Amino acid sequence: MDILHVVGARPNFMKAAPVLRALSGDPDVRQTLVHTGQHYDQAMSEVFFRQLEIPPPDLNLGVGSGTHTEQQTKVSLALDPVLRDRRPDLVLVYGDVNSTVAAALASSKLGIRVGHVEAGLRSRDLTMPEEVNRILTDQVSDLLFTPSEDAGENLLNENIDPAKIHFVGNVMIDTLVRLLPRAEKHLPKDLPSPYVLVTLHRPSNVDDLPWMRALLSTLTELSRMATILFPVHPRTHRSILHVDRTNGSQSRLRLLEPLPYLEFLGLQRHAALVITDSGGIQEETTFLGVPCLTVRENTERPITIQQGTNQLVGRDVNRLAQAATAILENRWNFPRTRTPALWDGHASTRIARIVSMRAETKKEEVA
């Protein structure tokens, strides 16, 4: 069985790494890794591949940045000849980025089976490009690997064939469990205590300059209670350059360069609080038991609120400040009940088992 994995952005790397590893032991499976280059920084990408122990991509399509339509078109045009030449038995796509939906649609139109890792997540907000990507990808996929029970329910409510749905757990947690001991060794020696870890990258946040100005002002105020460590995404950096930020002598808001996976995971593990707009970080903090405030009005990962440590504060700096203060003063009613089902570090093994069964079936058909 010939499997082609398509990744396009760093969150995809963390999801694909354990699946690549789990399938590598099957002699009946041949794997090809395609990096679309949707998000590509040579230095950072090399570090991620090295830390996650992913082999270098077999192909890099180099599509680069652009609007959503431009990126999807570039991925489709670059991937089409690859698909026609290689005719893989299965294309595995990950998450909800533009490369994911482009690869799923291009494969489906050629009659090539598609497997979606992290299927079924829904925010119910169609103004989010990622939500459109999720829905379209799931509609054309033949294998839907869901990370949580609510994701399967979403797919059933959309009239997806139950035979396509496989509840396997969260592959992001596979990577976290495997690399957390190593991440502890990447902690800075002069780490302040306590500290708050911040990460923001969604256009709805960072492209709104008045909102970014108010948000940075709030973070500066919070830094009077704890040091704020803020690794700045390139998109966020461009916005910060246009924002007048009052950062007085008493401020402990530290703007940092983007961090590799292990360094960031280590900081998450020991943070008093994480403030984010990232879906993956909502999941990681839930597993780690670290309080998380999500600067969004909704989330496609409601299980992190129901069973985890996550709380939505929306685009409201007062709610953010009040919740953060309560956490830092140990006045927060910790909501965590239990680790979500199958977030046990073995989701990729379940995926590999299902794919290998398909490979065995194909082998029997050929015989």
Q: Which residues are catalytic, by number?
A: 201
Cβ–Cβ under 8 Å, residues 285 and 309: yes
* Dist CA 105 CA 102 (whole Å): 5
Q: What's the token pair of residue 268?
A: 């998450």
Residue the block writes with tokens 């970080």: 281
- On the CB side of 328, CA atoms within 13 Å amount to 23
Cis before 11? omega within 30: no
* Dist CA 133 CA 6 (whole Å): 15
Q: In what order do the strands lie in the sheet with 143-146?
A: 59-60, 30-35, 2-7, 90-94, 113-117, 143-146, 165-167
* Dist CA 6 CA 79 (whole Å): 9
* Dist CA 148 CA 118 (whole Å): 9
* Dist CA 292 CA 320 (whole Å): 11
* Dist CA 342 CA 344 (whole Å): 5
Question: Exposed, middle or buried: residue 196 (CB in 10 Å: 0-12, 13-18, 19+)?
Answer: buried
Phi and psi at residue 178, in whole multiples of 5°? -70, -40
